[in-house]
Amino acid sequence: MTTLGYAILGLLSREDLSGYDLKQRMAGRVGYFWSARHSQIYPELARLEDGGYVTHSVVEQRERPDKKVYEITARGLDDLKEWVTRPPVPRPTRDELTLKAYSVWLADREEATRLFREEELRHEEQLAHYEGLRTWMEGEWREDLTSTNSPEFASYATLRRGISYEREYAGWCRWMADSIEGRGPTRVGKE
Amino acid sequence: MTTLGYAILGLLSREDLSGYDLKQRMAGRVGYFWSARHSQIYPELARLEDGGYVTHSVVEQRERPDKKVYEITARGLDDLKEWVTRPPVPRPTRDELTLKAYSVWLADREEATRLFREEELRHEEQLAHYEGLRTWMEGEWREDLTSTNSPEFASYATLRRGISYEREYAGWCRWMADSIEGRGPTRVGKE
DNA sequence: ACCCGCATGTAAGTCGTTACATGATTCT
DNA sequence: AGAATCATGTAACGACTTACATGCGGGT
């Protein structure tokens, strides 16, 4: 079973979905740190059905094309549960911007500053978006977030990761831009 | 030109290296956020030479097999410089552990706690290793780190990214483990 | 008439991993 | 004699991206 397979099962464990629905949820990286195109999703759904992890039923719609709605099976759910707590094999982190930083000593000062300022902005925007979601969740789901065995908690947990990831990234970009610009890094909090 | 090509050029811009040397430097993720196996490096070197970005000379060694030592060309250096400040196309972040968090509501409490504790430890160990390097660099390279156009600064910059990345990741894992365990997250600093 | 959203697929190509393959020299 | 390090490659496979392909219905 591939990681994509588990990503799909993770979504289907919450609600029944069509391939198209899955595509929508995996387009943005909101909610979970994985993504896939429809060209990868459809064949994977076929494989999951082959293995008995999901089943589908055709739903006829008026004024819309028919769709195949997938449902997770008991076997799929068992496999998913087992996978959740299995330690992931550590995979090498690849980050092109950090790789660029490794050769930044060759670059033009101004152009390099611009690059890291732009990236800082990108991550701060993403952060602001996530913070908005967080506020909403903490208000709307106050009850659900008290128990860690609710899907709401799990969604909140991945969002927390998104927030700390973006904050960290934006902070590093700011430090880079400040350093290259020559102002000396602006200190915000400790490190 | 692939990102791996630029990773190789980035190393060759600092010193002449053989394919084997490159393999060593790209094995661990220390110093830069990219990695590759030798099976990918050798063909890439051939392509780079084909494109005129590098040249090689055979160095005969006593008591060791001969080796091909690669050198970056003027053209290779120009291309590398241009690439450094070109904004990277944003690629989707894939993180299996965060994906697991999305389905953690299905998991056994104890097993899930153990998973995130273990991962917290992994990242804290990596962090400690990086912090050691940082102390060494700040002592040894005090002079060089004042100018951002030194390779030492660039190495230091990627190390800073490594440090903040690992700290962020470890912190999130701790929050996860604490939350699932039921103690309620331990507050360390703000956030 | 044309584009957009819904809906589902296949094909070709790239990037990366694992495995296969060889050969020299040094250390135990 | 066998394992470990140095040194360089190729082959097979899997994951992911981009492009190709089709068709309905609704809005402009």
Query: A115 lies in a domain?
Result: yes
Give chain A's domain count.
Answer: 2
Q: Which of B10, B112, B189 sits opposite A102 (nearest CB)?
A: B10
- The gap between B17 CA and C20 C1' (Å) is 26
| Nearest residue: Cα versus C1' of C24 | B65
A73 & A112 share domain = no
B102 & B171 share domain = yes
Instruction: Tell me which of B84, B107, B135 is where a domain ends.
Output: B84
Confidence of residue A185 (pLDDT cuts 50, 70, 90): confident
Predicted pLDDT at B183: 73
Predicted pLDDT at A8: 98
A72 & A112 share domain = no
Predicted pLDDT at A11: 97
Predicted pLDDT at A30: 59
Measure the CA angle with vertex A166, ends A161 and A172; round to 5°: 130
Arithmetic mean of pLDDT, A120-132 = 97
Instruction: Tell me which of A84, A110, A127 is where a domain ends.
Output: A84
A109 & A171 share domain = yes
Predicted pLDDT at B143: 95
Pull the structure tokens for residue B53.
Answer: 């970005």
- A-B contacts at Cβ under 8 angstroms: 211
Q: Which nucleotide is nearest to A67 (CA to C1')?
A: C7
B77 & B14 share domain = yes
**Element at B60 (helix H, strand E):** none
CB contact under 8 A, B95 and A7: no
> In chain A, which residues have their Cβ closer than 8 Å to the Cβ of B180?
148
Parts of chain B with a pLDDT under 50: none
CB contact under 8 A, B179 and A157: yes
Predicted pLDDT at A74: 98
B69 & B112 share domain = no
Q: Which of A48, A78, A89, A81 is nearest to A154 (CA)?
A: A81
Query: B188 lies in a domain?
Result: no
Chain A residue with the nearest C-alpha to that of B156: A102
Predicted pLDDT at A27: 86
B12 & B80 share domain = yes
Query: B191 lies in a domain?
Result: no
A56 & A111 share domain = no
Domain of residue B109 covers 96-182
DSSP secondary structure letter of residue B16:
-
Interface test with B, best of A6, A13, A84 (most B CBs within 10 A): A84
Confidence of residue A187 (pLDDT cuts 50, 70, 90): low
A102 & A69 share domain = no
Tell me how far apart the alpha carbons of residues A43 and A30 are, in angstroms, rounded to a whole number. 23
Query: B89 lies in a domain?
Result: no
Residue A11, domain CATH: 1.10.10.10
A54 & A116 share domain = no
Arithmetic mean of pLDDT, A129-139 = 97
Q: What tens digit of pLDDT does each residue of A48-87 get?
A: 999 999 999 999 887 888 899 999 999 999 999 999 999 9
Q: What tens digit of pLDDT does each residue of A8-36 get?
A: 999 999 999 999 999 999 986 655 799 99
Query: B90 lies in a domain?
Result: no
Q: Beta strands of B67-191 (E only): which ranges?
A: 67-72
Measure the CA angle with vertex A13, ends A7 and A19; round to 5°: 60
Predicted pLDDT at A39: 97
Q: Which of A84, A164, A172 sits opposite B103 (nearest CB)?
A: A84
B177 & B107 share domain = yes
Instruction: Tell me which of A84, A115, A143 is where a domain ends.
Output: A84
Predicted pLDDT at B4: 97
The pTM for the full model equals: 0.94
Dihedral sign (CA A110, B74, B11, B45): positive
Query: B107 lies in a domain?
Result: yes
> In chain B, which residues have their Cβ closer than 8 Å to the Cβ of A167?
168, 191
Predicted pLDDT at A44: 98
Query: A190 lies in a domain?
Result: no
Predicted pLDDT at A65: 84
B79 & B103 share domain = no
Query: A89 lies in a domain?
Result: no
Q: Which nucleotides in chain D lie closer than 7 A to a protein CB?
A: 6-12, 14-20, 23-26
Interface test with A, best of B22, B83, B98, B118 (most A CBs within 10 A): B98
Chain B residue with the nearest C-alpha to that of A34: B94
Chain B residue with the nearest C-alpha to that of A164: B168
Mean pLDDT of chain A: 94
